Amino acid sequence: MGLSWKERVFMTLLGAATASGLTVLVLILVEATYVLLPAHIKFGIVFDAGSSHTSLFVYQWPANKEKDTGVVSQALACQIEAGALSSGAVSGPGISSYASDPALAGESLRGCLEEALALIPKTQHQETPTFLGATAGMRLLRQKNSSQARDILAAVSQVLSEFPVDFWGARILDGQDEGAFAWITINYVLGMLIKYSFGEWILPEEGTQVGALDLGGASTQISFVPRGPILDQSTQATFLLYGANYRIYTHSHLCFGRDQMLSRLLARLAQDSQAALVRHPCYHSGYRVTQSLAPLYESPCVHFTAPMNFTQSLVVEGTGNPGACVAAIRGLFNFSSCKGREDCAFNGVYQPPVHGQFYAFSNFYYTFHFLNLTARQSLSTINATIWEFCRRPWKLSQVEANYPGQERWLPNYCASGLYILTLLLEGYGFSEDTWPGVQFQKQAGGMDIGWTLGYMLNLTGMIPAEAPTEGRAQSYSTWMAGVVFVVLTLVTILGAAAVQLFWPQD
């Protein structure tokens, strides 16, 4: 026998009330933070204006930060490639190369910035912090001609101020800042500052951080946490990140970047030769090139004067002698100033003894990657490989024909490889025992290694976090009150129906 219509109504109301009651129960059990809309994403833009090129990076992070520091990820990388501008000029070199026409320095940045703004929601353009940091190339130009450096920064600032962003300025970074921010970058992407584990963000164990080794075009930086106290306070950088304090040693050696090393080396050889023909031990035998001398002696890093018989050009001929090349490279350092001191690198610069793991990037990586030496080979294998490469003749398909597309830098890999060994071993004080702790990497954790991410992480500490807005909280409360009202109404109707069904009135 089927149910009567009263019983069917009752069962329907019972089901509705049960479902509504369960819904309320689930909502009560779930925290309100998970019911609110997802956290607002913030964006930041950083230009890395290096000595040889400029790159732009877009970073993003949730507004609800962790211990007052953003959990940042890279959203875009854009390198300013050489190409024709609307004026017919060529863009692409470092901004310091625009000393004769500063306006072009600013114009060269437009393409990448437009690409960045196409990625960022238009409603957030006005609140996106944008910063340009110039490194060693501009530090050298400031030494050489401070007014030209100011003009370039002014031109860059004028162009960037035209865009609808929160422009934080364009300035020349100190070498200490460049090294310290790179240290933050590496340790962050490796999970050495904060990491996600079992549903929460935690701080890693103290003392697990790695050191940073950067080799740019005009300078080189070393940054690490020493075992003991830092005795020279000018080499100390401190940070508060994710609620933890960090104290690191960092120093930048201006004029010891790869490009400036090559210029200083050639100038030294020309000085010793005092002739229009220079026999270069770091170039492969059979290699011969004629180059202008004027740019060589314009660098503030070159302290030699032009030879007495100075002409407009110099003929350079390779001899392929790695032993003589090492001797010439060692002449670029003042090692005697640190003799007998364990806390000294070279040129009298204070440095605590190195220890632990290090990441070597930029030109450290590019040089060793070309030589197939990034697989953590032994020091003896690396040394033998570089010497063997230096001894190869340039012609007869030994070098020139075997590396297509490498013509620009190919003659310099021998000098660069031997320079890296000299810098790391005799300069920074690595040994056969500590060498296995050095890794040559371009990226870490899938992100580019450099100072820009570290700068952005530090910057997030100055940008207020966004808690759920009052409007969102009110919407949540009103919505919950409405649900409760509907459920209570249904329960009341169900109770009335039950009374009518089972206790009918006479």
**Which band of pLDDT confidence, cut at 50, 70 and 90, is reported for residue 36?**
very low
**Calpha distance 413→74 (Å, rounded):** 31
- HSE at residue 437, side-chain half, CA atoms within 13 A, is 20
Q: How are the residues of the chain apportioned to helix, strand and coil, as percentages rounded to the nearest 5?
A: 45, 20, 35
Which residue is catalytic, options 81, 178, 200, 470? Answer: 178
Q: What is the CATH number of domain 42-211+447-460?
A: 3.30.420.40
- HSE at residue 156, side-chain half, CA atoms within 13 A, is 31
Query: Rounded to two decimals, what is the model's pTM?
Result: 0.80
CATH number of this structure's domain 258-444, picked from the four choices 3.90.1150.10, 3.30.420.150, 3.40.50.1820, 3.50.50.60: 3.30.420.150
Across 311-320, 403-412, 484-493, which has the greatest mean pLDDT? 311-320
178 is catalytic: yes
For residue range 434-478, what is the model confidence (pLDDT) as tens digits? Answer: 999 999 999 887 788 899 999 988 877 655 555 444 433 443 444
Q: Given this chain, do its domains 42-211+447-460 and 258-444 carry the same CATH topology?
A: yes
Q: How many other CB atoms are there within 10 angstroms of residue 461's CB atom?
A: 15
Residue spans per domain, the chain: 42-211+447-460, 258-444, 479-506
In 50-197, the DSSP E strands lie at 54-62, 73-79, 83-84, 90-91, 129-134, 166-172, 195-197
The percent of residues in the chain predicted with pLDDT above 90, rounded, is 58
For residue range 78-103, what is the model confidence (pLDDT) as tens digits? Answer: 988 654 343 333 345 789 999 999 99
